[in-house]
């Protein structure tokens, strides 16, 4: 029986897991309930080893094949955390936790990898070991980095690693992927403009930090338009403008700007960081103010290794009949840390015509489960075929 048909039979069970996780979202590293549920199921499936507490609340299950002579170990990774968003779906399985919801589909990723783990533990039709990786804190916490820094790759001998994300706008159960840079580096910054506060009716006696900050916001857009090669990709977005006073008649002493820089190469990342510092400092100086900058490199560029991408796409074609070329994505993905540590690839599976991710009306499309589970299983079996 084709795998997609087998998982179509298992769909009600896996859907129930997914909706239970959806109803009980947990943010960043606080995935205690989800992690415990994952570990319990992996043990029930008969995984050869289940380790908890990696990257604080991450879980890894090891499944040995019928043979292990190849010595190969392939990692399959799903993320578990939710977002601090108030859900607006009105569904029966909607979040029961105030101001938290699975608005990015990590509930679906976790459920699909659990379904694949159950099948792999039952059949073991491969020569080697599968490491199923359940990661916390993808949404800004760097859980992937923490699992790598905890020595996960070395401890379990993982040689290559693969990840998957659902994607609204791609037909349900279809796939898309691209080699090389795929998701952007996600730097964050905070710029504090320090002026001289005063009465709004006497601007000549003040240094208006709101005017200075406004010039900085506009000037930062020249990084993309006038500093970076037009064939390269960079996004500089100021997302918060906070004054030290909210009164109608006060010129505030200071303004704090927050935002993000997205890039796809180290060279552009370096250039954007340098220009941001220069623009903020020199613009402030021109007005007699001062700028203090806190710049953090958050997630690196996520880069798909070429051969692994080709293999992942071939498996997707066998599951879905095709695999499209994915666009460059300026969003971030902390699977980048795992791909820095080991070769591998990251693929998109279609969520259909749904609300976008990070939207209060988003919900993972359960009809994508058979395709996602089948891709995980076939990837493991074909990467480590029995002789």
Which pTM does this prediction carry? 0.95
Asked if residue 3 has pLDDT above 80, the reply is no
Strand, coil or helix: 96: coil
What b-and-e string marks burial along 8-43, b requiring 16 or more CB atoms within 10 Å of the CB? beebeebbebbbebbbbbbbbbbbeebbebbbebbe
pLDDT at residue 2 in the model: 62
The answer on whether 165 is annotated among ligand-binding residues is: yes
DSSP output for 236-302:
EEEEEEEES---TTEE-SEEEEEEEEEESSHHHHHHHHHHHHHHHHHHHHHTT-EEEEEEEEEEPPE
Assigned token pair, 81: 């955390």
pLDDT tens-digit map of 359-369? 999 999 999 99
Report the candidate in 15, 128, 29 with the shortest Cα–Cα distance to residue 369: 15
pLDDT tens-digit map of 163-172? 999 999 999 9
pLDDT tens-digit map of 61-99? 999 999 999 999 999 999 999 999 999 999 999 999 999
Assigned token pair, 269: 């990342």
Q: Which domains does the chain carry?
A: 3-183+301-383 (3.40.630.10), 192-299 (3.30.70.360)
The answer on whether 373 is annotated among ligand-binding residues is: no
Report the candidate in 134, 145, 138 with the shortest Cα–Cα distance to residue 58: 134
Report the candidate in 11, 33, 6 with the shortest Cα–Cα distance to residue 22: 33
Rg of the Cα atoms in the chain: 24
pLDDT tens-digit map of 242-291? 999 999 999 999 999 999 999 999 999 999 999 999 999 999 999 999 99
pLDDT-derived band at 4, boundaries 50, 70, 90:
confident
* Residue 378 and residue 164 in contact, taking contact as beta carbons nearer than 8 Å: no
Assigned token pair, 140: 């800004």
Any alpha helices (H) in the chain, and if so which ranges? 3-23, 32-45, 106-123, 143-149, 152-156, 209-220, 222, 266-286, 306-320, 335-341, 369-383
pLDDT-derived band at 5, boundaries 50, 70, 90:
confident
The answer on whether 106 is annotated among ligand-binding residues is: yes
Report the candidate in 312, 343, 296 with the shortest Cα–Cα distance to residue 185: 296
Q: How far apart, in whole angstroms, are the C-alpha atoms of residue 70 and residue 56?
A: 31
* Residue 367 and residue 166 in contact, taking contact as beta carbons nearer than 8 Å: no
The answer on whether 139 is annotated among ligand-binding residues is: yes
Q: How far apart, in whole angstroms, are the C-alpha atoms of residue 344 and residue 270?
A: 25
Q: How far apart, in whole angstroms, are the C-alpha atoms of residue 300 and residue 154?
A: 21
Q: How far apart, in whole angstroms, are the C-alpha atoms of residue 167 and residue 262?
A: 20
Cα 266 off chain centre by: 19
The answer on whether 199 is annotated among ligand-binding residues is: no
């Amino acid at each position: 029986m084709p795998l997609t048909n087998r998982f179509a039979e298992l769909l009600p069970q896996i859907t129930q897991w997914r909706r239970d996780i959806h109803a009980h979202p947990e943010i960043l590293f606080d995935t205690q309930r989800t992690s415990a549920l994952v570990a319990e199921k992996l043990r029930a499936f008969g995984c050869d080893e289940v380790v908890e507490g990696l990257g604080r609340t991450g879980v890894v299950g090891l499944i040995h094949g019928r043979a292990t002579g190849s010595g190969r170990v392939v990692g399959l990774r799903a993320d578990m955390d939710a977002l601090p968003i108030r859900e607006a779906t009105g569904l029966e399985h909607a979040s029961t936790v105030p101001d938290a919801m699975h608005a990015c589909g990590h509930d679906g990723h976790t459920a699909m990898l659990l379904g694949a783990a159950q099948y792999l533990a039952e059949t073991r039709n491969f020569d080697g070991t599968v490491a199923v990786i359940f990661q916390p804190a993808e949404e800004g916490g760097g859980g992937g980095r923490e699992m790598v820094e905890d020595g996960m790759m070395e401890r379990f001998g993982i040689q290559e690693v693969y990840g998957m994300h659902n994607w609204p706008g791609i037909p349900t159960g279809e796939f898309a992927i691209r080699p090389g840079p795929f998701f952007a580096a996600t730097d964050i910054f905070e710029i504090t403009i320090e002026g001289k506060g005063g009465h709004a009716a006497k601007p000549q006696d003040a240094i208006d930090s709101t005017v200075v900050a406004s010039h900085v916001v506009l000037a930062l857009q020249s990084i993309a338009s006038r500093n970076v090669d037009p064939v390269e990709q960079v996004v500089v977005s100021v997302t918060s403008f906070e004054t030290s006073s909210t009164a109608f008649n006060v010129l505030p002493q200071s303004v704090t700007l927050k935002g993000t820089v997205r890039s796809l190469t180290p060279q552009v990342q370096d250039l954007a960081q340098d220009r941001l510092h220069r623009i903020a400092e020199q613009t402030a100086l021109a007005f007699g103010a001062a700028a203090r900058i806190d710049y953090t490199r958050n997630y690196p560029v996520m880069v798909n290794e070429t051969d692994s991408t080709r293999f992942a796409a071939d498996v997707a074609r066998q599951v879905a009949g095709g695999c499209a070329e994915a666009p460059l994505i300026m969003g971030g993905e902390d699977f980048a840390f795992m791909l820095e540590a080991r070769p591998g690839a990251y693929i998109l599976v279609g969520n259909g015509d749904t609300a976008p991710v990070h939207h209060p009306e988003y919900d993972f499309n359960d009809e994508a489960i058979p395709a996602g589970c089948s891709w995980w299983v076939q990837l493991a079996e074909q990467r480590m075929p029995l002789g």
